[in-house]
Amino acid sequence: MKNKLRTKAIVFLLFVSSTCFILGCNSIKISEKFFLESQNSLETAEFLWDSEDVRIKNRAFEQVPSVGVSADGKQIFVAWYSGGLAPGPGNYVTVSLSLNAGRNWLNDKLVVYPKNQSYRFFDPLIWRDNQGEIHLFYGSAKDSLIWDGFGGVNSVRLAWDGKQITASKPALNANGVMSNKPTYLASQNTTLFPVYIDKPLNGVISDIPYPKNGVFIYSGNSDKNQFKPYSSIDIKEELRIHDEPQLVEISNSGDLLAMLRTTKGIYYSNSSDFGKSWTQIKPFTATGLTTSSRFYLGKLSSGNLLLIANNSTTRNKMTAFLSKDGGKTWPHKLMLDVRENVSYPDADQTSDGIIHVVFDRERTVAKDILYCQFTENDLISGNLGAIFKTKVNK
């Protein structure tokens, strides 16, 4: 075990060294003790299956949902995080399930709960890989409100056995946070994982210095706990908040589009070498106004791109956009929710063409986790009446 951890430390140091050479950041010292503590942090995760457990009744907020649907479309998984103050120690991730196309929801069918209440689990992500496996990723941190040099990106595989959601043992994949779906490059037979490391909050001190320009893209296989450094995207510090990068492949010849969150709304970057290098980021203006909040970017089965974002300078007007030219123009749009305080969309598409979308609303007041579904044709025609909408949580 120690030899494996020492190997991880060496690999990470090499990555930091190469990143600092490219980005010009200060030298970072990482000790083996960090990896030992990170490994031990996995032991703090406890799975709960009892929806009446008193430990999961403390919900001052509910936020940051993600959706993933089984390959056959029979199970819709939605995860978000809650518990105590947001964000803060004791936060946990909960997973709900629908077995009838979103008409009804079974809540708290699986909860990833911190045994040690100085930990927090947050920003869950559900993703169906190219083999049809469902993965739940979630962030972890100890004591701090954001990543503190201790926790990182954790993952478990999910499945439905007819009675409950089953989950594999958690694996620690990387430092930082991954709140948006990975991208599988079929031509390269590899998956790219968009990870970011938050800027430290004022007054928060970590034993591990925070790297600058914190968007780091990894490649690898989440099942085998193999996240390997792949590339990075340079962001000026004054633009950084929660980077929340997203990637999409726009051609089979190596062209990728990345979008990320900044203090001034959505910015974008391009790659022509399968994501190994990236152009300087620029403001994204093709859909009109955007705000500093997470959005969703993905590719549909048709090959067209789907963007879901607040079409505003504030968190209202949750809108779905469609591009047929690799993200250059977005002529089609569908308003999903015009209200205030709607944010953090995520989406998945099933083989029947249905686009499944979740987002949150009024995180500390209404505490809504909302679900809707529509098709690409509905979006192109602007057919508001075709959108099915419901609330996931009680």
User: Model confidence over 167-207: pLDDT tens digits?
Assistant: 999 888 888 899 999 999 999 999 999 999 876 666 666 56
Q: Above 70 in pLDDT, residue 30?
A: no
Which strand (E) or helix (H) includes residue 359?
Answer: strand 355-361
Q: Which of 244, 255, 247 is CA-nearest to residue 215?
A: 244
The pLDDT of residue 24 is 34
Instruction: Tell me 56's DSSP state.
Output: G
CA distances from 269 to 176, 229, 286, 321 (A): 21, 19, 13, 18
Amino acid (one-letter) located at 321 = F
User: Helix, strand, coil shares of the chain as percentages rounded to 5?
Assistant: 15, 40, 45
pLDDT value at position 223? 62
Complete DSSP assignment for 211-223: PSS-EEEEEEETT
Q: Is the peptide bond before 87 cis (omega within 30 degrees of 0)?
A: yes
- At 255-294, the pLDDT tens digits run 999 999 999 999 999 999 999 999 999 999 999 999 999 9
Q: Where are the alpha helices (DSSP H) in the chain?
A: 2-23, 32-41, 376-381
DSSP structural state of residue 155:
E
